[in-house]
Amino acid sequence: QVQLVESGGGLVQPGGSLRLSCGVSGRIFSINAVGWYRQAPGKERELVASITSGGSTNYANSVKGRFTISRDNAKSTVLLQMNSLKPEDTAVYYCNCNAKLTARGTQYDYWGQGTQVTVSS
C-alpha cells in the first residue's frame, strides 16, 4: 500500500503564503506522478498542480505564477509552495499519488487524508 501524509495547512491572511508537504511511503514499484488537488465546499475536487517522475509540472490556470510544486527525492516528499493566497484558494487540499505496486500491476490513484487551507482576514 501507499501512505501519503500531508501537513502544512492552516489559516492565513489574503496575500500570505503557506507550504504544504506530502510524505510518500510504502512498497512502491514506480510512481507516475504526484499531485495536489483541492475541494471547496459545494464544489468538485480539482487538480491544483502535479509533478511527474520525470520532473514535468502542470498547474491549474487559477494558480499559475503563485503556486510552485517541487519534490525532495531524498525525503520522498512533494511540496506545494503557495504564495499570494486568495480567499478563493480556501479548500481542503489532498495529496494524490499515481503509482504501481508491482511491475505487472495497474496504475492506481492513492489519496491522503487532506489538509485544510483557509484564506481569510
CA-wise closest residue to 117 among 19, 10, 18: 10
Task: Give 35-64 pLDDT, tens digit per residue.
Answer: 999 999 999 999 999 999 999 999 999 999
Query: Are the C-beta atoms of residues 34 and 21 closer than 8 Å to each other?
Result: no
What phi and psi values does residue 75 have, to the nearest 5 degrees?
A: -105, 5
Task: Give 61-117 pLDDT, tens digit per residue.
Answer: 999 999 999 998 888 899 999 999 999 999 999 999 999 998 898 999 999 999 999
pLDDT at 74: 81
pLDDT at 100: 92
